[in-house]
Each structure stands twice: as C-alpha cells, then as structure tokens.
Chain A
Amino acid sequence: MEPYVPPSEPGRGRRAFSAVLPPTLAFAVLFGGWELFVRASDISHLVLPAPSAIGREIWDEPGYWWSHAMVTGSEALLGLLIALVVAIVLAILIAHSTVMDRALTPVVTMVQVTPVIALATPLVIWLGFGLAPKVVMAALITFVPLVVNAAMGLRSIDATTEEVLRSVAASPSEIFWKLRVPQALPYLFSALRVCVGLALIGALVAEWFGSTEGLGRVMTQARNSLAITKLWAAVAVLMAMGIVATTLVRLVERRVLRWHAPGRRP
C-alpha cells in the first residue's frame, strides 16, 4: 500500500501569477482603451468622462462616497439576510411536504415572474423614503434564487446514503442534519454568489424611486445637475461593492465547502 500523501500544489507562486496576469491585462486594455478614446476624440466630458476623471471624483471625497456606499450596502445586506432566512424556512417546508410544495411553489413562481422593479414605486408610496422599501426590494429580488436552490439542495439527497442511515434506524431529524443540510450547502452558496449582486440592484433601484441618502440618491441628484462624472463614480463604487461582496462569499464558501470535490459544485 502506498502511503497517503495529500495532493501537493506545485509552483503555487507561478500559478498565482498566471491566474492574476491575464485578467489584469484585460482590465488594462479595457480601461486604457477607454481613457485613450476619451482623450483622443473630442467627446465632451459631459457625455463620457475618462476613467481617470471618475477615479479622481472618488479620490477627492472618500468620506462622502463611503457614507453613501454604507447606506446602500447595509440595505442590500439586510434584504439579503431576510430573504435568506425566509428562503431557508420555505425551502424546508417545500422539500419535506408535498402539500407545502403545492401551496408555496406557485407563490414563489409568482414572485419570480413579477419584474420586481415594477414594485419600486408602490413600495415607496407604501413604506416611505426610509430603509424599509429598499430592504424589501433587495429581499424580493434575491428571494427566488435562494428558495429554489435551497429546496433543490435539500431534495438532492443521495438515496443510497439515506438508506445506509435508515439501516440503523436514523430518525428523520438525524437524516436532516447529517445528510440534507450539508448536501444543500453547495446549492445555497451558488445562489448566494448570484444574490449579492441582485441585492445591490434591489437596494439601488428602490433608492432611485425615493430616498434621502445612498448611492441611488447620489445618482438621481447627479443626473438632475448633469454631474455626469459623479454618475459614473457611483457606478464605479457599486461595482467595487459587488466585487468585495462576491469575493467574501467565495472565501466563506471555500472555507465551508473545503470537502467538496472539485468540479462537483453546482
């Protein structure tokens, strides 16, 4: 018998380099090309500002951008967490009971087929200019992928493994905690990766339709005063927030799902 050697990682440094270099080049080409295009052509900065101008806009007032980013970010995060809790509860009901499946799946589908953005105005009228309509929008827009994936994960139980547990009379709750929940985690994480971006969309759109602070408010003000560079700066901040949030989810996922065989991730 050969001794067990954990899989080694040859040339870690070189691999990290080859993983970082191509995307860096791609971004350099993208933003460099944009910068050159704006400088070379006689396009007005009121129509399309250069990336350097957008960067300066943020650089000059970091506190301003940080505070508005925090407002939008916490709205999105709160909505996502509420959607996550509700989705997990509903997914457990849907996965375990045919009656609940029949009752709840049409409701989930109804939310799914509704263009959630259409709800922005009615929600603002109902819930006011504060936190509530933003959180509700972020929750509504992320709820469907979360509940669908969580239910799929809970149902994706391996029948043979379940039978092994049943061969020693494991109770349904033991099968739930030992088998169903860990089995569902990869599905839930792949939904979460998509949903951090969606939650930002939900919060932002709700802000457009009525707010006193947040990046959506910054954008509507910038539009009204034709501060086009500021408009683009808000986009850049939102993009950075999306990158940070997605990276955080990936890091947690990699840690929690270390056991997961590569390539088996849904």
Chain B
Amino acid sequence: MTAPASLPVAEGIRLSGVSKRFGRHQQGIQALSDITLDVAEGELVTLIGPSGCGKTTLLRIIGGLLDPDTGTVRVGTLSPDAARREKHFGFVPQAPALLPWRTVIDNVTLLDEVNKRRGRRRADPAGNRPTPAELLEQTGLSEFGHAHPHELSGGMQQRVALARAMALCAPILLMDEPFAALDEITRGEMRHLLLDVWASSGATCVFVTHSIDEAVLLSDRVVVLAPRPGRIAAVEPIDLPRPRPPGIEDQPEFHEHVRRIRQALHGSAR
C-alpha cells in the first residue's frame, strides 16, 4: 500500500441508522438504536448523556473497535476498519493507558512503531506533522520527556496520552471522557489545552463526556443521547465564538447553553 500524496487535515464522519445490541434475546440490552449523525470536517462534536446511553459504544463503533449490528459508518471515504488500518484515528481513552516501562517520549511515539506496513509515516509535504519535541512542548511536557509514567501525576499522564494521539497527525480525534478521572482544577486546564491542540491540528473531533460544562466549552455541536435504547434526544449547536479563552465559562451565553442542554437531558430521561 502506498502512502497518500498528502495528509488530509480532517475528514467528516457519517453515521446512518446505526444500531447495536449486547447480549441475546430478551435479556439483551439495546445499546444504540438507529443513530444517524453527520460530523463535518474539522468539527468538534461532543456526545453527552447519562451512564448507559451508549456514548462510548458509539465512539468505539466510529473508531472501528466495535462493529454495529445494522447501519453504516463512513470516515471520509473509508469504513471505520479501513480508517483504523490507515491510522486515521487519534484515540484518547479515559485512563491514560501508558506503557509504564517506556519513557514519556517513547510513549508518545509508540503508535508510530506499530502497524508499519500500512504507510504509517504518511506523506507530509506541508510539514503538518509535529515532531515529538514539539508535541511535548505543546502539551507542557518538555521537562518530562525522559521520565517514566509512574513519576507523573494523573493530569500529566493524561497529557502524555493526548500527545500520543496527536503524534499521528490523524484527521480524526476520538476522545472517551479523557478528563473524567482528573480533579476539577486539572480538568479545567486540560480542556483549554485540548482546545489549543485541536485548533492547531484542524482535525475532526468526537468527544464523549458526562460534563455539561465541558461539552459547551469544547463543542461546535452537542449531541444529547438518551438511554434504553441509546438514541439521539437533541442536537444543540454551540455558537460561542472561538477561540474560547478561560473565563468564558462565566458568560451568560455560556450559561444559556448549559441550561438548554440540561433541559434536553432531563427531557430525555423521562
């Protein structure tokens, strides 16, 4: 397989009629029912909803880690599985999931070392691809390149996970509650760091969260999911201007969006 001529900065995602059921017969759980959603190139969409609404399942289906029972998923022109093989996804899970025997910098470059046959170092004529040193700089880890993960705090470890996802220069970022395990102050810092990193990458981003504030701060659109069966209850566009600096959380427009999403969540729970 030859590498594509240039690096796609972003790709859109199309989901139509996606359903997923876990378990068989009556005891099974309908995790997702008939999800249809388009994510535009370069858009940041959050999936929000109560536990069990299938938001992580949906993210895993987009990422090709799980197959839907029915419906189709397209990532650009590719199936999720093909996109995965082409290394089109930068994935940040809830836990940092670092390899403890590797230094920070070796964790950041880990994903370059696997799946080598599939044109892993994709052509980069525009010089979009950040070097590991630049990534560490961008994520505030310059001093820690040769530290081992157990020497870092949880917040710093999650920065490494973010840098690792960005290292691929992937057109799609998939984030599964990446800041949920962090303390409130660190979480606030990480949200703004993500906004910076995402803006400079230009990638499309699907972000799973259960924090309304986080969804409003980050998103172009917030997709509210309802549980049993998992379905889209509302889609809320967030028209706050970008860049969104720290302090934007205190503006009345921000609160208005938070209020509307809270209402949508309450409505869907009934």
Interface size on A, residues (CB 8 A): 27
B114 with A163: CB separation less than 8 A: no
* Contact A178–B97 (Cβ < 8 Å): no
Q: Given the known A-B contacts A161-B99, A164-B97, A170-B115, are A1 and B87 also in contact in the complex, defined by CB atoms under 8 Å? A: no
- Distance in angstroms from A164 CB to nearest chain B CB is 5
- A21 near B: Cβ within 8 Å? no
Contact with A along B147-163 (1 / 0, CB 8 A): 11111000000000000
Interface: B174 (CB within 8 A): yes
Question: In the complex, what residue of chain A is closest to B95 when comparing beta carbons?
Answer: A160
B60-102: contact bitstring with A at CB < 8 Å (1 yes, 0 no)? 0001110000000000000001001101010101110111111
> How far does the alpha carbon of A259 sit from the alpha carbon of B81 in the complex, in Å?
34
Asked if B4 CB lies within 8 Å of chain A CBs, one says no
On whether A167 and B63 interact (CB within 8 A), knowing A4-B143, A260-B101, the answer reads: yes
**Which B residues are in CB contact (< 8 Å) with A107?**
none
CB contact under 8 A between A163 and B91, given known A259-B101, A261-B150: yes
| Whole-angstrom CA separation of A164 from B143 in the bound complex | 25
Are A178 and B65 CB-contacts (below 8 A) given A160-B94, A167-B174? no
Distance in angstroms between the alpha carbons of A174 and B91 in the assembled complex: 18
Find out whether the CB atom of A164 lies under 8 angstroms from the CB atom of B115: no
In the complex, A1→B142 CA distance in Å? Answer: 10
Fill in one digit per residue for A1-39: 1 if any B CB lies within 8 Å of its CB, else 0: 101101100000000000000000000000000000000
Q: Tell me which residues across on chain B come within 8 A of A47, comparing CB atoms.
A: none
Tell me the bound Cα distance from A158 to B96 in angstroms: 11
Known: A163-B65, A168-B115, A170-B115. A259 touches B102 (CB 8 A): yes
In the complex, chain A residues whose CB is within 8 Å of the CB of B97: 158, 160-161, 163-164
Interface residues of A in 241-266 (CB under 8 A from B): 257, 259-262, 264
Residues of B within 8 A of A6 (CB): 147, 151
> A20 vs B64: C-alpha distance in the bound complex, in angstroms?
56
Q: A167-B65, A168-B84, A259-B101 are in contact. Are A174 and B95 (CB under 8 A)?
A: no
Q: Is A182 an interface residue (CB 8 A)?
A: yes
User: Is B140 positioned at the interface, with any CB of A under 8 Å from its CB?
Assistant: yes
A168 to B115, CA, bound (A): 7
Q: How far is the CA of A6 from the CA of B104 in the complex (A)?
A: 14
Contact of A178 with B143 at beta-carbon distance under 8 Å, contacts A158-B97, A163-B91, A167-B84 already known: no
Which A residues are in CB contact (< 8 Å) with B84?
166-169
Q: Which of A1, A168, A169, A171 meets B140, CB within 8 Å? A: A1
Please provide the chain A residues from 125 to 175 with a CB less than 8 Å away from any CB of chain B in the complex. Answer: 158, 160-161, 163-171, 174
B118 with A169: CB separation less than 8 A: yes
Which residues of chain A come closer than 8 Å to B150, judged between CB atoms?
259-262, 264
Contact B113 A178 (CB under 8 A): yes
Is the beta-carbon distance between A165 and B114 smaller than 8 angstroms? yes
- Chain A nearest CB from B44 CB (Å) reads 19
Q: Is the CB of B147 within 8 A of A4?
A: yes
* Given A164-B93, A166-B65, A167-B174: A182 in contact with B99 (beta carbons within 8 A): yes
The residue in chain B whose Cβ has the minimal distance to the Cβ of A165 is B114
Partner of B115, one of A4, A158, A171, A261: A171
Cα A13 to Cα B164 in complex, Å, equals 40
Query: Which chain B residues border A174 with CB–CB below 8 Å?
Result: 114-115
Q: Report B192 CB to chain A, min CB distance, Å.
A: 15
B93 touches A160 (CB 8 A): yes
* A167 touching B110 in the complex, CB below 8 Å, given contacts A160-B97, A182-B99, A259-B102: no
B198 interface residue (CB < 8 Å to A): no
CA distance A4 to B151 in the complex (A): 10
Contact between chains at A7 and B151 (CB < 8 Å): yes
For residue A179, CB closer than 8 A to chain B, the reply is: yes
Q: What's the minimum C-beta distance from B28 to chain A, rounded to whole angstroms?
A: 22
Contact of A167 among B91, B95, B113, B149 (CB under 8 A): B91
Bound: A260/B85 CA distance, A:
31
- Mask, B124-138, CB within 8 Å of A = 1, is 000000000000000
Q: Is the CB of B93 within 8 A of A168?
A: no
Bound CA span A163–B65, Å: 8
The residue in B89, B97, B174 that gathers the most chain A C-beta atoms within 10 A of its C-beta is B97
- Our pick among A167, A170, A171, A260 for the contact of B89 (Cβ within 8 Å) is A167
A112 to chain B minimum Cβ distance, whole angstroms, is 30
Residues of A with C-beta under 8 A to B64: 167
Closest partner residue, chain B, to A2 (CB atom): B143
Q: B144's closest neighbor in chain A, by CB?
A: A4
Min distance, Cβ A186 to any Cβ of chain B, angstroms: 10
- State the CA gap A3–B87 with chains docked (Å): 34
Q: Which residues of B contact A (CB under 8 A)?
A: 63-65, 81, 84-85, 87, 89, 91, 93-95, 97-102, 110-111, 113-115, 118, 140, 143-144, 147-151, 164, 168, 174
Q: Top 4 closest A-B pairs, CB basis?
A: A261-B150, A167-B91, A259-B101, A4-B143
